[in-house]
Structure 1
């Protein structure tokens, strides 16, 4: 009797296990929820490579990996010595050119004009005296009262005095007229060039300071103080925390059920039960084979389209590469879905 009771209990247990197995199998084989689309992907962000605009030796690195930086924050500096010297030389040259231009613009000083006039008057007296002497000797020479040599010497002195007087008269005229317009224009151009060189030197000196080009988190500190750097050598790699999205892939058969702006929910294994709001911000226009990172044996030959689901993450919990699950309610009205991108209080950049 006891043995029969044991056999009945065993049979009942077998039937129960079989029933549970069939139910589980049927549940596993049940068709997916037609009202929701579940996708799997990874958190993705943009990165930028911060570098100096000029070459030089790094003097300071002011932030570390993991530090949050904001746009315009000073994050590194170069040794400024040679840049400061170049700026000082450029400013001095600009000052010289400015003084030269000012002198030309001011014209001749009254003292210069008076000096030129006095010089002309003195030479005029000599010129008149030598002219009179030459006239006398020229008259006496034919009668033997003066030698031919005396006449020729008087003529040479007269001609030289006339040339000196004419040169002094022209100098006086130039002093009264002042500099030529062409000279002033040339001096202005030289001054403008000197100012431009000084501005360039000032800009190069400012380039010894590296500022964060955007808000983000320092992902990698590539160089250190003492390193020689150049514009082609990044100093930091900065991860941009906005925008932030989940890169997922949607099968071709589901492509017609989604559109840009649809609201979505994002979850991760790192924060169980935590849901992040998001929206479909980008759908690739070209198909590709399922990436190896997400493929399963029955998906290897399927064509999929890349999808970006932009996420709201005010607490900064979503990290680059983190696996994430995206759930999209397919019953949402299209008009409502069109406002899905505003779930974070403002539309983010949903470009490529």
Structure 2
């Protein structure tokens, strides 16, 4: 048997120049070509060719040497055995090729769950719940009024804010316009009166001082005159400064302070207006009311949940795919979605997102084969959702066969 194999090997080298140890070119081409079953089939066919040619060579060699007929018959039996083995190899390669092609052409089946988002709806301000317009299970549309609070307290706050704005506006206008001539004349008159009072007090103090120097006046009387003179002098100085201010007008810092006060009052008014608007709760998106967490008359704090809303658009399917199947789950790939309720009428969707990083499979995955693997998360956007798809519902996904690839 060993001698026969060596003869076949030598014949292979002589006839074709092919040596198994130097088959770097064929291995390079095999790695470059996809799928790899093509090279396997070629090697199998070549092996069959070698065996057939070897049979004829051995038969010829035996006849030339004059070997006995029973020895030639034995060699022919061995050659037939090798021929059978070669046929088995070719058959196995062909079967593997068929299986590989069938696996690649077969639709990819995945398992996932419906992933419908839900949001908690509530008022941004607190207060007494005046009324509810929807109940659990109701379908709602964007902008629909769902509930309302008692708005009377916030209406009063808005009125107060408006009054503060009006007062700040008047004060700013007064500072910007400056003082009227009548006001300036009045301040000038006050200055003249203060000047006269000071002149009299100062004259009286001088007389009292002379008497005190002559030792005819008590010290207490002199001190009283000095105190009166000082008071009238301070009043005169204040009147002069006031007249100067009226003549110059208001300082820029005072006008800036009035402007800031007006801006603050306007901000308070805007906040009061916003709070009043927030006593109405409107639907942000289309959906279905899942739960109602409050009743009319309840006192609610800001942010308390009143409704839980299930969003009906968009509807997503969350699924997972392992690394070997990742190449077939490309974004945009069409998907058929089957549920237990309608197994013969699939929903339609497309792969909208493929996670860039691997993760361990969550426990809620249906197939036990994937639970211990590193997988990639898929998000399938359902194109034709309806009420039959519920949060968390298990579904079966079939990736539609890529026809362009199949035609190739």
Q: TM-score scaled by structure 2?
A: 0.61
Superposed displacement of residue 275, structure 1: 3.0
Superposed displacement of residue 280, structure 1: 1.1
| 2:171 equivalent to 1:100 | yes
SS, match of residue 105 in structure 2? coil
Superposed displacement of residue 235, structure 1: 1.6
Structure number with greater CO (CA < 8 Å, separation at least 6) is 1
Aligned to 1:291: 363
Given that residues 249 and 290 in structure 1 are in contact (C-alpha distance below 8 angstroms), is that contact kept between their aligned partners in structure 2? Answer: no
User: Structure 1, unaligned stretches of length 5 or more?
Assistant: 1-30, 335-352
Aligned to 2:379: 308
Superposed displacement of residue 301, structure 1: 4.6
- Describe the shift of the 1:200–1:112 C-alpha distance in structure 2 as closer, same or farther (beyond 3 A): same
SS, match of residue 179 in structure 2? coil
Given that residues 257 and 330 in structure 1 are in contact (C-alpha distance below 8 angstroms), is that contact kept between their aligned partners in structure 2? Answer: no
Aligned to 2:247: 176
SS, match of residue 243 in structure 1? coil
Alignment of 1:264-343 (within 5 A): 264-284=335-355, 285-289=357-361, 291-292=363-364, 294-296=366-368, 301-313=372-384, 315-333=386-404
- Distance in 1 between the 2:112 and 2:238 partners? 92
Given that residues 360 and 371 in structure 2 are in contact (C-alpha distance below 8 angstroms), is that contact kept between their aligned partners in structure 1? Answer: no
Superposed displacement of residue 224, structure 1: 2.0
SS, match of residue 341 in structure 2? coil
- Describe the shift of the 1:227–1:295 C-alpha distance in structure 2 as closer, same or farther (beyond 3 A): farther
- Distance in 2 between the 1:133 and 1:233 partners? 78
Aligned to 1:26: none
Alignment of 1:7-26 (within 5 A): none
- Describe the shift of the 1:72–1:290 C-alpha distance in structure 2 as closer, same or farther (beyond 3 A): closer
Alignment of 1:78-227 (within 5 A): 78-124=149-195, 165-227=236-298
- Distance in 1 between the 2:364 and 2:249 partners? 83
Q: TM-score scaled by structure 1?
A: 0.69
- Distance in 2 between the 1:110 and 1:242 partners? 71
- Distance in 2 between the 1:302 and 1:171 partners? 88
1:70-108: CA deviations, max 9, x gaps? 333322222223222222223222322222222222211
SS, match of residue 313 in structure 2? strand
- Distance in 2 between the 1:169 and 1:299 partners? 94
Aligned to 1:46: 117
SS, match of residue 125 in structure 2? coil
- Describe the shift of the 1:275–1:92 C-alpha distance in structure 2 as closer, same or farther (beyond 3 A): same
- Describe the shift of the 1:130–1:50 C-alpha distance in structure 2 as closer, same or farther (beyond 3 A): closer
Given that residues 98 and 191 in structure 1 are in contact (C-alpha distance below 8 angstroms), is that contact kept between their aligned partners in structure 2? Answer: yes
Given that residues 218 and 236 in structure 1 are in contact (C-alpha distance below 8 angstroms), is that contact kept between their aligned partners in structure 2? Answer: yes
SS, match of residue 129 in structure 2? strand
- Describe the shift of the 1:276–1:122 C-alpha distance in structure 2 as closer, same or farther (beyond 3 A): same
SS, match of residue 256 in structure 1? helix
SS, match of residue 235 in structure 1? strand
SS, match of residue 104 in structure 1? helix
Higher helix share: 2
- Distance in 2 between the 1:35 and 1:274 partners? 20
Superposed displacement of residue 315, structure 1: 4.7
Say what the alpha-carbon RMSD is for the aligned residues: 3.6
- Distance in 1 between the 2:395 and 2:232 partners? 103
- Describe the shift of the 1:159–1:221 C-alpha distance in structure 2 as closer, same or farther (beyond 3 A): closer
1:315-335: CA deviations, max 9, x gaps? 54433233332211232448x
- Describe the shift of the 1:122–1:229 C-alpha distance in structure 2 as closer, same or farther (beyond 3 A): closer
- Distance in 1 between the 2:251 and 2:403 partners? 81
Given that residues 350 and 383 in structure 2 are in contact (C-alpha distance below 8 angstroms), is that contact kept between their aligned partners in structure 1? Answer: no
Superposed displacement of residue 278, structure 1: 0.8
- Describe the shift of the 1:51–1:102 C-alpha distance in structure 2 as closer, same or farther (beyond 3 A): same
Alignment size in residue pairs = 297
Given that residues 120 and 306 in structure 2 are in contact (C-alpha distance below 8 angstroms), is that contact kept between their aligned partners in structure 1? Answer: yes
- Describe the shift of the 1:186–1:293 C-alpha distance in structure 2 as closer, same or farther (beyond 3 A): same
Aligned to 2:320: 249
Rg larger for: 2
User: Structure 2, unaligned stretches of length 5 or more?
Assistant: 1-101
Given that residues 168 and 262 in structure 2 are in contact (C-alpha distance below 8 angstroms), is that contact kept between their aligned partners in structure 1? Answer: yes
Given that residues 149 and 279 in structure 2 are in contact (C-alpha distance below 8 angstroms), is that contact kept between their aligned partners in structure 1? Answer: yes
